[in-house]
Amino acid sequence: MPEVISRRTFLGGAAAAAALAAAGCGDRRLAVPLARRTPEAVPGLPVHYASTCPLGQRALAVLVRTREGRPVHIAGNDAHPDLRGAACAQAMAGIQTLYGPGRVDGPRLDGARVDWTRATAALREALAPLRAGGKGLLLMGATASPSRLRFLQELRAALPGLEHLAWEPGLALGAQAGALAAFGRAALLRPVLDRARCILTLGADPFDGSDPAAARAFAAARRDPAAPVRLWSLEGPVTLTGSNADHRLAVRPSRLAAVAFALARDLHARHGRPLPPGAVLPDLPAPELTGPFRSALASDLAEAGPRAVVLCGEGLPPETQVAAHLLNAMLGSRAFRLEPAQTLAGPADLDAALARARSGACQVILAWGANPAYAAPDADGWRAALAASPAAVWIGTEADETSGRCRLLLPEHHWLEAWGDHRDGGYELLQQPAVGPLYDSRQGEDILAAALAEPGAPAPAHLDRIRARWRAEVHPLAGPVPFLRFFQAALHEGVVEGRPDPPAPPFRGGCVAEAVRAAAAAAPAGFDLALHAGPGVGDGRFGASGWLQELPDPIHKTTWGAPLLIAPADAQRLGLAEGDQAWIQAGGVRVLAPLHLQPGQAEGTLALALGYGRKAGPARGIGVCAFPFTGLRGPSPFLVTGTVLSKGRGRLSLPATRGRDPLPGETPARHLRRADLPGLVREDAHHPSLYPHPAPAGPRWGMAIDLTACLGCPGCVVACQSENNVPVVGPEQVARGREMHWLRIDTAWDPEGAVHQPMLCQHCGDAPCESVCPVNATNHSPEGLNQMVYNRCVGVRYCANNCPYKVRRFNFLEYNGTKAEPELLAFNPDVTVRPRGVMEKCTFCVQRIQDAHQRAGGEGRPIRDGEVVPACAAACPTEAIVFGDLADPGSRAARLSADPRGYHVLEDLGTRPAITYLARVRNPHPALSGGRP
């Protein structure tokens, strides 16, 4: 060689050659191909965008953190007054669905890839018969977007023969039917729990993590020392809300209406609460309510009056909904509001539409964000109708059962790539793209608008439609501010207070008589089968997210599927055991599912989650599909009565994360009664150590976790997984106890209820793991952190054996080794992606601590209290997790850690944990607790 080639020159040439090779293969997918650096994108620094995650009838304001142009983490929007930074698990999993391998990468016609010019022409040709009087069907999900609803009006005006069905398979129509009967209009009941002092739930689960605003308001009311809220729960299956109740009573779902009407009768006859005009309420027998419980519940509701609220589960039949509305009307409740809602299509509407499609009356079937070939009651019929249709069109993001039967596939933007606006809870929310399109996709509204326009003529962009609506309807609320300045400020904040909803109409008392007759009717013999959306995957639309598939159910901790839940007494009577396969049969539908014996569930009740049993996409083959039961004619699509259960062949134990078994004599999670608080004295155990660590000269980071506020929702688990690149290990590894979650939620059950306790690395002052590591991979930092040096770890796992809290995770396999772009783009670049063979655990989000150090150092000041917020604390809707400097006595974390309710887990071992738990405070009714609240 004529000259020596330096290493830098060689690597530069190799990188250029690799780039040319990648460009030649045509498979480069860059998040944002920066020809020049934009002013806001500084390498190494995050950029945040306010946006909105659409969730059917609801929408959630979020804050999207991007790095070098790609989203890497989603949190709640702290500018939203009701959220203040909290988010739900489905919204945070948007990072995974954005980069998911199941997305359709471009338009397709008859299975062949085409460009958008050809695809638009094919769509225009498919819609042409509708302009001439033909019939078509548009099936799509519900929306909270006023601009999208306005576009749908324009679409129906341009295509008069197009029938539009708004369909949400994960929402039962019981709530809609109850609102129509009680108020004469479709409405969404939204609790305002910061006004409540007594809450009664009838099979409702408002604290399952899907509504962070409700959870935050409830926790604030629970902390009120003067008049803490009391929660009563009447339900069949055990819900997360029921596990947090001060008093819970197991009642079959088909009997809840009769029980509620009996309570209404007591309020009227014994407490003088007047009935609404036109309401006639006979006395219904309710043997489920015993004397003391019934009297205490009725008196508690009556005393709270306007500060009491009754919430009804969406899956319960209309008569139960009417009973709940009647109770609220009698109490004069001010702890809820009714918001106008879109009218949803039910099973009968879907059956009628399917009959028209099969008969050839529908010349076009357009599925926009809907999956009837999977989630409809007669999915086989929809698959056949779509395959036989000459013009079956699909608009969506991920390939699914419906896209596989359609002739024309039109991929739309992911919500992180799209524009939109939403109205939720009285607020106007803006949705803006946080990243450029990763694939050859388009905005859904723009796809249809281009097909409606004349060939060659420009179609109005959906962003222009949003701006026009905001200029006409929202901008006048801001006063004399130029519209452009107002709209830019709204984009920056993501949320604007909107016009108040119209007042709720009065309760129509005439609906009570029919509801009472339905409640008094005897249910058929057999089990009540209660269906509900999956805790992570919902109605199946989030099934492609490994984070949500591996997220443990907050009650029974199973993952990667859903078991059939049954009361232990019913299982014993039928000779069934845990893990047995059992046949569920009702109305000609027969499904085989594994059993889980759930203590606390009402006898005669079965429960099964929807959203599993997919036939296509990344989630195919996981769990069983229960959607066929939603088509049976019964009291509600989500409540099937007269169900027969019989033993099947074989056994199947779903993978579960059970946590650590308590040590002998250990109280895993502590709880108190409100009467125990006065005079409570904290007793800390102090033990000498053979390995004392000097007190940190600077901060000593730690946490205080208030179990009174913690509801056990899984938001913190997903937030930690997203922030720290925690891998998904799959069902086989979870079944072997190899889950990788750095944070888990342990649940301790006792006769009075449950206590949910987040468990993570305790960052012990005298850590048992540090003394046994032969290579000093786990060590103590000057700021009190128990550190892990990954490139030192040799995988002997002594530290995990010596950890009494069992919070260390060993990376047995190369879980991230098979990932390729675009999945690799989901990794947070601030956190190491760990290889196989190293120990992992919670780091208190040390990357956020270092970022705060750099900012404070650059400004020449110390770190402020509350400036460092780990991902779990940021996602917690109830602010149960408080992080800070324990060496600063004025910090919030240090003050809470000194609370008399505080305790350390396994403190007798002398590990000196940096996490203090505050015992849960229960608020039982004095009549049911020996006179002590």
pLDDT in tens, 402-434: 999 999 999 999 999 999 999 998 899 999 999
Predicted pLDDT of residue 500: 84
Q: For position 14, what pLDDT does the model report?
A: 43
Contact of 358 with 373, CB cutoff 8 Å: no
pLDDT higher than 60, residue 350:
yes
Q: Where in the chain is the domain with CATH 2.40.40.20?
A: 524-651
User: pLDDT digits over 763-781, tens only?
Assistant: 999 999 999 999 999 999 9
The DSSP code for 442 is B
At residue 233, does pLDDT exceed 70? yes
Domain 174-340 has CATH 3.60.130.10: no
Percent of the chain with pLDDT over 90: 75
Query: What six digits make up the tokens of 472?
Result: 């006409």
Pick 23 or 719 by higher pLDDT. Answer: 719
3-state secondary structure of 901: coil
CA angle 852, 858, 864 (to 5 degrees): 40
Rounded to 5 degrees, φ, ψ at 485 are: -65, -40
C-alpha–C-alpha distance, residues 557 and 550, integer Å: 10
| 430 touches 446 (CB < 8 A) | no
pLDDT mean over 748-757: 88
214 closest CA partner among 915, 918, 877? 877
Task: List CB contacts of 511: < 8 A, sequence separation 6 or more.
Answer: 181, 182, 322
Say if residue 903's pLDDT is above 60: yes
CB within 8 Å of 826: residues ≥ 6 apart: 72, 95, 96, 98, 99
Is the pLDDT reported for residue 925 higher than 70? yes
State the Cα–Cα distance between residues 131 and 148, nearest whole angstrom: 21
Tell me if the bond preceding 160 is cis, omega within 30° of 0.
no
Q: pLDDT, tens digit, for every residue of 91-141?
A: 999 999 999 988 999 999 999 999 999 999 999 999 999 988 899 999 999
Mean pLDDT along residues 901-921: 92
Structure tokens at 590: 């027969």
End-to-end CA distance of the chain: 88
Asked if 391 contacts 365 with a C-beta cutoff of 8 angstroms, the reply is: yes
Q: Which two tokens stand for residue 744?
A: 């888990």
Give percent of the chain with pLDDT exceeding 70: 94
- 64, β-bridge pairs: 49, 74
Count the helix, strand and coil residues of the chain and give each as a percent rounded to the nearest 5.
30, 20, 50
In the CATH hierarchy, which fold is given to the domain comprising 671-677+697-855+862-922? Answer: Alpha-Beta Plaits (3.30.70)
490-540 pLDDT, tens digit per residue, is: 999 999 998 887 888 899 999 999 999 999 987 889 999 999 999 899 999
pLDDT of 24: 34
> Taking 80 as the threshold, does the pLDDT of residue 484 lie above it?
yes
Q: Which of 751, 781, 753 is nearest to 765 (CA)?
A: 781
pLDDT in tens, 23-66: 333 332 334 434 445 556 678 889 999 999 999 999 999 999 99
Q: How confident is the model at residue 930 (pLDDT cuts 50, 70, 90)?
A: low
Q: How many CB atoms lie within 10 A of CB 455?
A: 9
Query: Where are the domain boundaries for CATH 3.40.228.10 in the chain?
Result: 174-340
Lowest model confidence (mean pLDDT) among 17-26, 371-380, 914-923:
17-26
**365 bridge partner residues:** 137, 392
pLDDT at 45: 86
pLDDT in tens, 865-884: 999 999 999 999 999 999 99
> Out of 514-528, 672-686, 750-764, which region has the weakest mean confidence (pLDDT)?
672-686
Per DSSP, the residues of 478-497 read G-S--HHHHHHHHHHH-EEE
Residue 3 has pLDDT above 70, yes or no: no
Average pLDDT of the segment spanning 454-472: 91
Please, where in the chain does CATH 3.30.70.20 lie?
671-677+697-855+862-922
Q: How far apart are CA 337 and CA 502, in angstroms?
A: 10
pLDDT (0 to 100) of residue 296? 96
Q: What is the pLDDT of residue 33?
A: 39
C-alpha radius of gyration, the chain, whole number = 28
Instruction: State residue 864's pLDDT score.
Output: 95
* The two three-digit tokens of residue 438, written as one number: 């990763």
In the structure, what pLDDT confidence band is assigned to residue 5 with cuts at 50, 70 and 90? very low
- Helices 318-331 and 256-269 cross at an angle (nearest 10°) of 20
CB 840 within 8 A of CB 821: no
* Token output for 424: 């939720």
- Check: CB of residue 828 under 8 Å from CB of residue 749: no
Q: Which is nearest to 579 in space by CA: 566, 591, 595?
A: 595
Q: Is the pLDDT of residue 2 over 60?
A: no
pTM of the model: 0.92
b/e burial code for range 839-852 (CB count within 10 A of at least 16 → b): bbbbbbbbbbbebe
- CA dist 893 and 699 (Å) reads 12
| Stretch among 500-509, 901-910, 923-932 having the lowest mean pLDDT | 923-932
Mean of per-residue pLDDT scores for the chain: 90
Q: In this model, does residue 4 exceed pLDDT 60?
A: no
- The pLDDT assigned to 572 comes to 96
Instruction: Look at residue 663 in the predicted model and tell me its pLDDT.
Output: 65
CATH topology for 524-651?
A: Barwin-like endoglucanases (2.40.40)
* 18/13 Cα distance (integer angstroms): 9
In this model, does residue 692 exceed pLDDT 70?
no
* Beta carbons within 8 Å of 36's beta carbon, 6+ residues apart: none
Q: How confident is the model at residue 479 (pLDDT cuts 50, 70, 90)?
A: confident
Higher pLDDT, 658 or 720: 720
Residue whose pair of structure tokens reads 């222009």 in the numeric block: 464
